[in-house]
Amino acid sequence: MDFWLHRASSIESTSGIPESRLHLAQIAILGLATVLWLGFGASHGLFAILLALVCLHAITGYWDTRVAYPKRAIRPLEQHVHSILDLAPWVAVGAVYWSLPSTHVGPVVAFDPAPAALWAFALVPAMLLVVLPALGELRRCLSYRRTR
């Protein structure tokens, strides 16, 4: 939805490449968090890393808004979509925390990959609904810049 709204507001002719790169940075941050969650067993160490990545995502989101706001209108629907995108990583990291076993779990981060089906369930929709549209957005921004 967010990329559709960016297209509707002509991101390529307004905030362009700088904003699009920040979108890719946010996706990379949460992508790394997702891969870590899928690849390592529940621990306080993993939770701390995920929490740090969620904080970095929030900072990057703020930076993204600072880049976009003076150059293009961010309409109410897009603001609402952003509120959901801002909140979702916090909910996910909370779910990770509450899923930690009640018995003592040390800070050690240990490789313990999730089943392949869970990897597919998490990553395939993300690639189709997030990564590909983000790359398409960047391509539009680069094409627009070349024609100027």
Residue 53 lies in a domain: yes
Structural domains of the chain, count: 1
Structure confidence by residue, pLDDT tens digits, 10-67 = 999 999 999 999 999 999 999 999 999 999 998 889 999 999 999 999 999 999 999 9
Query: What is the distance between the alpha carbons of residues 137 and 89, in angstroms, rounded to a whole number?
Result: 22
Residue 83 lies in a domain: yes
Domain of residue 80 covers 17-101+109-136
Domain-embedded: residue 44: yes
Residue 78 lies in a domain: yes
Of 62, 59, 38, 30, nearest in space to 131 by CA: 30
pLDDT of 131 > 80? The answer is yes
- Burial bucket for residue 47 (CB in 10 Å: 0-12, 13-18, 19+): buried
Q: Is residue 68 part of a domain?
A: yes
Tens digits of residue pLDDT in 68-100: 999 999 999 999 999 999 999 999 999 999 988
Q: Does residue 148 sit within a domain?
A: no
pLDDT for 101 beyond 80: no
Burial of 76 (0-12, 13-18, 19+ CB in 10 A): exposed
Q: Are 30 and 71 spatial neighbours (Cβ–Cβ below 8 Å)?
A: no
> Number of H helices and number of E strands within the chain?
6, 0
